[in-house]
Amino acid sequence: MDKFNRRDFLRKASVAAAAGGASLLWACGGAEEESGGAPAVQTRKKYEWKMVTTWPPGFPVLGEGAELFAKWVDEMSAGRLKIRVYGGGELVPALEAFDAVRQGVVQMGHAASYYWAGKTPASQFFASVPFGMNAQQMNAWILCAGGLELWRELYADFNLVPFPCGNTGVQMGGWFKRRIDAISDLQGLKMRIPGLGGKVIEKAGGSAVLSAGGEIFTNLERGVIDATEWIGPYHDYLMGFPKVADYYYYPGWHEPGTILELFVNKSAYEQLPADLQAIIFAASQRSNVWMLSEFEAKNAVYLQKIKAEYKTEILEFPAGVLRAFREYSAEVIEEVTAGDAMSKKVYKSFAKFQKEIGEWADITERAYYSRLSV
Amino acid sequence: MDKFNRRDFLRKASVAAAAGGASLLWACGGAEEESGGAPAVQTRKKYEWKMVTTWPPGFPVLGEGAELFAKWVDEMSAGRLKIRVYGGGELVPALEAFDAVRQGVVQMGHAASYYWAGKTPASQFFASVPFGMNAQQMNAWILCAGGLELWRELYADFNLVPFPCGNTGVQMGGWFKRRIDAISDLQGLKMRIPGLGGKVIEKAGGSAVLSAGGEIFTNLERGVIDATEWIGPYHDYLMGFPKVADYYYYPGWHEPGTILELFVNKSAYEQLPADLQAIIFAASQRSNVWMLSEFEAKNAVYLQKIKAEYKTEILEFPAGVLRAFREYSAEVIEEVTAGDAMSKKVYKSFAKFQKEIGEWADITERAYYSRLSV
């Protein structure tokens, strides 16, 4: 696996093209390439597949996790299924990954499903929802409480088969150039925050601005924006945000546990022999655990680096601000589900499970973090 | 996969023999069987392996997860690696699983590593530690911060290769026949609680009693014991505990995120071709995520069943009691690490990582559970 070169981080980001979609997106421009669809079935046949991602090549954790997935599939299949991984823009622009895979231009993609909200709004519930579930709860819903079946139903209409394949964990709330002491401080605030979270900021009187990954630093430095969310300390440090904003807020109410997705062209997938299909599922779950673990381990280290190297103030959003965000989030979700039957169906399952597991978490995980952990 | 028959739950438990080791153990008597070691390497060779577990056959989540692991390996290898799963006592007694695998009587085992504390005390740190890390943090330590390397070093001396393969999540604190309002209420209390947690109870003036799984219900009903810990609502409901004890305490300070382990005979493992080795790792991680997810989903449902069907009082341990348990736990860990160099080395890594990730969790997962979740 090619290691991401940190010195290249901002240089690569700076060639990124216009972003849309949502939080983690790096939308990179690039040449399209046409290639064949899935190979026909044949015993012991070898497959050479392509995976497009929405991350820059070798992007820490996310791009690395996609490369590891391909490496593990290669090892398990003894070379029968080779997957070449492309960064966003290398083969098709990042935001065209969904269409490239559904049309069979390539066989696989790695992204976060809220990028496809414009194509099918229900996709957002399989990535992250403001005040929604965290990583452990999302896995339980997806794998053991009907979430994956709904996700497959949704994606089948696009000739895709989805798998959970990574999670960021609870994100940070973002970098601000001024303190947020009350919800009124959001009035007129220009924040880079896409997706449902952006709609919440707008309800609070701010402006949700979209910027490509490579433009955020400069926009924040020059005051084109007053704030930005991104992921957490590891990536935020590499992006240089602590150099240009002093207030780092938590928790990431807008993305409490974002699932990264693997999606496979359904026709290509169905032509694979059963052993390679099972290998794809297991590799996605090894990546699923690895990415969350790597985010957790690296964020812990980089939080300390930020504290040691910068005068960043790390602050909790005031209770009144979070209360207002929660109310606006409920309105935003109501608007999405009112306008789309599949969103309504998916969110019904999501919300029912969130309530059930919330009561259980209250006496276990919540109690762990408030009473047992160091 | 054979589904566990719930009507058989207590009947099967009632044939269990004397338990030792730790919390989750079902020690079942049974005939030993000698079988060959690992097959020799040969291209496209087929392997027929056996896995012994420390659970009753088909035991919910744990036994089911072991069966799923075997099914997924079978599918991925297209039948080249067949693993027959045995419940505790079906082939060798549960507590002999470790020796049976290291000696090559069988090739694999599924258990929790604290069962082997008598053989190597350091094993306990790869299962669960009082006031230690939860599932998400344990995965991060094991997979991305050096934990697995230490675990492999420890098990190499026993001719074994370990993999994390499941997690219970935060457990419950246990069932009590009387209220615990202060640490003085532990004086004279007879509690079924094995391992490090049991040593803590003894420091608090109680007696740690060992009972086999099948004897706990009767002992609790008849007052032979005053309290017992087990796992969480799903298993505890099936064990019938709400029928004979009224107070259900949380959180499970003694087991905040117990890893279930897969261990493979090292000589047999090293003779496998690389593709089958990679298949074992990936299947262990699919099981790792699945078991935690299944525990979370089922515990949420069974917590509601207990509330609906019984007059159980669900209570948080008073802060003073948890404070005392924490102090005693530190003493117990100090005693273990002072007497064993490998325990000291492993716990140093464990404790360093717990501190790092604790500060990160404080502004993310803790904040999530206290401020964002429903």
Among A250-259, A336-345, B39-48, B337-346, name the one with the lowest average pLDDT: B39-48
Q: Let me know: does A256 contact A325? Beta carbons within 8 Å.
A: no
Q: How far apart are the first and last CA of chain A?
A: 35
**A365/B134 Cβ within 8 A:** yes
| pLDDT for residue A138 | 98
Q: If residue B236 lies in a helix (H) or strand (E), which one and from where to where?
A: helix B233-239
| pLDDT for residue A34 | 34
| pLDDT for residue A37 | 41
Phi then psi dihedrals of residue B256, to 5 deg: -80, 0
Q: Let me know: does B229 contact B192? Beta carbons within 8 Å.
A: yes
Q: What is the arithmetic mean of pLDDT over A180-199?
A: 96
Residue labelled with tokens 């976060």: A112
Q: Residue A3 pLDDT > 50, yes or no?
A: no
Q: Six-digit token pair at A185?
A: 């401080």
Which of B249, B365, B370 is most worth mutating to test chain A (most A CB atoms within 10 A of its CB)?
A: B365
Among A140-149, A220-229, B206-215, B320-329, name the one with the lowest average pLDDT: B206-215
Distance CA A127, CA A113 (A): 5
Which residues of B are less than 8 Å from A349 in CB distance? none
Using the Cβ of B131 and the Cβ atoms of chain A, whether some distance falls under 8 Å is answered with: yes
**A365/B365 Cβ within 8 A:** yes
**A360/B273 Cβ within 8 A:** no
Q: If residue B208 lies in a helix (H) or strand (E), which one and from where to where?
A: strand B207-209
| pLDDT for residue A373 | 82
Q: Residue A234 pLDDT > 60, yes or no?
A: yes
Phi-psi region of B179 (alpha: psi -120 to 50; beta: other; left: phi over 0): beta
| pLDDT for residue B24 | 53
Q: What is the arithmetic mean of pLDDT over B109-121?
A: 96
CA distance A293 to chain B (A): 4
| pLDDT for residue A358 | 97
What mean pLDDT value characterizes chain B?
Answer: 90
Using the Cβ of B118 and the Cβ atoms of chain A, whether some distance falls under 8 Å is answered with: no
Nearest to B75 among A256, A278, A297 (CB): A278
Q: Which carries the bigger pLDDT value, residue A19 or residue A235? A: A235
The length of chain A, given as a count of residues = 374
CA distance B316 to chain A (A): 8
Which residues of B are less than 8 Å from A200 in CB distance? none
Q: Residue A25 pLDDT > 70, yes or no?
A: no
Residues 289-328 of B with CB under 8 A from A: 289-290, 292-294, 296-301, 303-304, 314, 316-317, 319, 322
Q: Residue A335 pLDDT > 50, yes or no?
A: yes
Answer positive or negative: Cα dihedral of B142, B144, B147, B152. positive
For the sheet with A81-86, list strands across it.
A81-86, A47-53, A108-111, A259-265, A160-167
Q: If residue A197 lies in a helix (H) or strand (E), which one and from where to where?
A: helix A195-203
| pLDDT for residue B8 | 54
Phi then psi dihedrals of residue A50, to 5 deg: -120, 140
Q: What is the arithmetic mean of pLDDT over A319-326?
A: 98
Give the residue from chain A lying closest to B292, CA to CA. Answer: A140
| pLDDT for residue A374 | 64
| pLDDT for residue A79 | 97
Q: What is the arithmetic mean of pLDDT over A148-166?
A: 98
Q: What is the arithmetic mean of pLDDT over A274-284?
A: 98
In chain A, what is the greatest distance between 2 CA atoms, to the nearest angstrom? 65
Structure confidence by residue, pLDDT tens digits, A112-127: 999 999 999 999 999 9
At residue B155's C-alpha, the angle toward residues B152 and B161, to 5°, is 65
| pLDDT for residue B210 | 81
Using the Cβ of A172 and the Cβ atoms of chain B, whether some distance falls under 8 Å is answered with: yes
Q: Six-digit token pair at B93?
A: 């007694």
Q: Which carries the bigger pLDDT value, residue B11 or residue A40? A: B11
Contacts of B288 (CB under 8 A, 6+ apart): A285, A289, B139, B164, B165, B166, B167
**B355/A361 Cβ within 8 A:** no
Beta bridge partners of B191: B208, B227
Residue B324, Cα to own-chain centre: how many angstroms? 24
Q: Residue A44 pLDDT > 50, yes or no?
A: yes
Q: Let me know: does A25 contact A110? Beta carbons within 8 Å.
A: no
| pLDDT for residue A24 | 53
**B134/A296 Cβ within 8 A:** no
Distance CA B236, CA B217 (A): 10
Distance CA B333, CA A120 (A): 53
Distance CA B128, CA B24 (A): 11
**A372/B275 Cβ within 8 A:** no
Distance CA B262, CA B154 (A): 14
Count Cβ atoms below 10 Å from residue A83 Cβ, excluding itself.
23
CB pairs under 8 A between A and B: 260
Closest CA to B77 of A163, A107, A75, A38: A75
**B374/A369 Cβ within 8 A:** no
Q: Let me know: does A159 contact A212? Beta carbons within 8 Å.
A: no
Q: What is the arithmetic mean of pLDDT over A19-32?
A: 39
Q: Residue B1 pLDDT > 60, yes or no?
A: no
Which of A73, A74, A129, A289 is most worth mutating to test chain B (most B CB atoms within 10 A of its CB)?
A: A289
| pLDDT for residue B165 | 98
- The answer regarding whether domain B46-166+257-296 maps to CATH 3.40.190.170 reads yes
Domain ranges of chain A: 46-166+257-296
**B282/A279 Cβ within 8 A:** yes
Q: Six-digit token pair at A296?
A: 């957790």
Structure confidence by residue, pLDDT tens digits, B12-69: 443 333 333 345 544 333 333 333 444 333 358 999 999 999 999 889 999 999 999 9
CA distance A15 to chain B (A): 31
Radius of gyration, alpha carbons of chain B: 20
Q: Which carries the bigger pLDDT value, residue A199 or residue B2? A: A199
Q: Six-digit token pair at B319?
A: 């802060």
| pLDDT for residue A21 | 38
Closest CA to A274 of A104, A81, A35, A84: A81
Q: Residue A158 pLDDT > 50, yes or no?
A: yes
Count Cβ atoms below 10 Å from residue B157 Cβ, excluding itself.
12
| pLDDT for residue B179 | 98
| pLDDT for residue A27 | 38
Quick one: CA torsion of A281, A285, A287, A290, rounded to 10 degrees?
A: -170
Nearest to A354 among B253, B364, B374 (CB): B374
Structure confidence by residue, pLDDT tens digits, B129-145: 999 999 999 999 999 99
Residue B188, Cα to own-chain centre: how many angstroms? 27
Which residues of A are less than 8 Å from B370 in CB distance? 366, 369-370
Give the residue from chain A lying closest to B356, CA to CA. Answer: A300
Beta bridge partners of A314: A248
Distance CA A68, CA A61 (A): 10
Work out the pLDDT band at B285, boundaries 50, 70, 90: very high
Give the residue from chain B lying closest to A351, CA to CA. Answer: B374
**B297/A76 Cβ within 8 A:** no
Structure confidence by residue, pLDDT tens digits, A55-111: 998 899 999 999 999 999 999 999 999 999 999 999 999 989 999 999 999 999 999
Which residues of A are less than 8 Å from B303 in CB distance? 359-360, 363
| pLDDT for residue A109 | 98
What mean pLDDT value characterizes chain A?
Answer: 90
At residue A117's C-alpha, the angle toward residues A115 and A119, to 5°, is 105
**B134/A373 Cβ within 8 A:** yes
Q: Six-digit token pair at A174?
A: 């973002």
Rounded percentage of chain A residues whose pLDDT exceeds 90: 84
Answer positive or negative: Cα dihedral of A295, A296, A297, A303. positive
Q: Residue A11 pLDDT > 50, yes or no?
A: no
| pLDDT for residue B277 | 98
Q: Which carries the bigger pLDDT value, residue A160 or residue B44? A: A160
Q: DSSP letter string over A77-140?
A: TTTSEEEEEE-TTTSS-GGGHHHHHHTTSSSEEEE-GGGGTTT-GGGGGGT--TT---HHHHHH
Q: Residue B300 pLDDT > 60, yes or no?
A: yes
Rounded percentage of chain B residues whose pLDDT exceeds 70: 88
Q: Residue A259 pLDDT > 50, yes or no?
A: yes
Which of B80, B250, B369, B370 is most worth mutating to test chain A (most A CB atoms within 10 A of its CB)?
A: B369
| pLDDT for residue B214 | 81
Q: Let me know: does A23 contact A194? Beta carbons within 8 Å.
A: yes
Structure confidence by residue, pLDDT tens digits, B212-234: 778 899 999 999 999 999 999 99
CA atoms within 13 A of residue A369's CA, in its CB half-sphere: 22
